Structure 1
């Protein structure tokens, strides 16, 4: 579908939508390529979440101007990405300790996950600032207010993602975002050889 949209946009001379659709397609396929390269099994729910987010932020947000049409779209995209990066940060540190909950206590793993998600959010704000300054874009919208609002939403989303990791380790939770963690652990047991289940 994205390929057809990009092709149609090129035929009509609409270069911005064509570029956005092409980038969306590449970023949607990238997790599959990277997972094969790293020999990591990425669960279908992870892939679906990535595709929905990339489609929402780039395709709908940029090509169909959802950021301007719906005041809450930016909040939804920042919040969901922060939750996702909080979960990714959790999984990364948990993999580093091979699932050893004694070497990596739940609060420490959650703190790293929160910090990871916030770092990604801050880097994105730097990217927006650079694009505005270098290419005269308006990614920051209202400047400081937009940046601080985005970082606050990022912090809330990061807390949800990191908190889900903490709950997963502390109480062996399996619902909501914790189910995504459990699915990843179950499909990649070789990375979690020291995991002790209650």
Structure 2
């Protein structure tokens, strides 16, 4: 059952999993235990959404799941094991922006769920603003976490300190704004590339979270 389910995943996900398996075997042969651990940890974290779907009863569209796996792979495996954070100055910027955008979409889905899928229950701008605040709050909490880890355990997660933190927050703000804008345009019946399509796919796959039937009626 599990093998059949894994085979139904997007090609990019299967490719990442195959790459992690190869890296794990190569690390064992070369006695690179840290790489082996990171490979296993990345694979395990990429399976969390699959387990969460079963426990929470939420269905993740292939687009959503693919984004999550790519993000985990880029953050942990490439970022840490191969030091992409140090080799490419823009790597952290891209991941911060991508995560903020994702949280903007998640924030919109959560806010929209509170209104039971009724696009008329609150102004589109208000829902978008709450989505933006949600995403930016997550980004701020992460910066607090990095600061705490540096102060308590002597790590260097903040890199250059205040400058790194401020740039991260700026990127978080831009990403959150894009995600919230996608939600706003969705409510207006407009499109923003694959972002609004991803929102439609998630809502359609989880209609029990958005119970108001009139949202799903086709316009005559």
Alignment TM-score, normalising by the size of structure 2: 0.83
Helix, strand or coil: the match of 2:188? helix
State which of 79, 87, 99 in structure 1 corresponds to 2:105: 87
Aligned equivalents of 2:27, 2:154: Cα separation in 1: 23
CA distance in 1, matches of 2:110, 2:103: 10
Question: Which one has a bigger Cα radius of gyration?
Answer: 2
Q: Which runs of 5+ in 2 are unaligned?
A: 1-17
Aligned counterpart for 2:73 among listed residues 52, 55, 59: 55
**Counterparts of 1:16-165 in structure 2 under 5 Å?**
16-165=34-183
More moved, 101-110 vs 65-74:
101-110
Aligned-partner Cα distance in 2 for 1:189–1:174: 22
Q: CA deviation at 1:31?
A: 0.8
Pick which of 103-112 and 163-172 moved more. Answer: 103-112
- Report the TM-score when normalising by structure 1: 0.91
SS in 1 for 2:121: coil
Change (3 A) 1:130 1:18: farther
- Corresponding residue pairs, total: 198
Superposed CA RMSD:
1.9
Unaligned runs of 5+ in 1: none
Taking the aligned partners of 2:40 and 2:100, their CA distance within structure 1 comes to 24
The CA distance in 1 between the partners of 2:107 and 2:155, in whole Å, is 30
| CA shift for structure 1 position 3 | 4.2
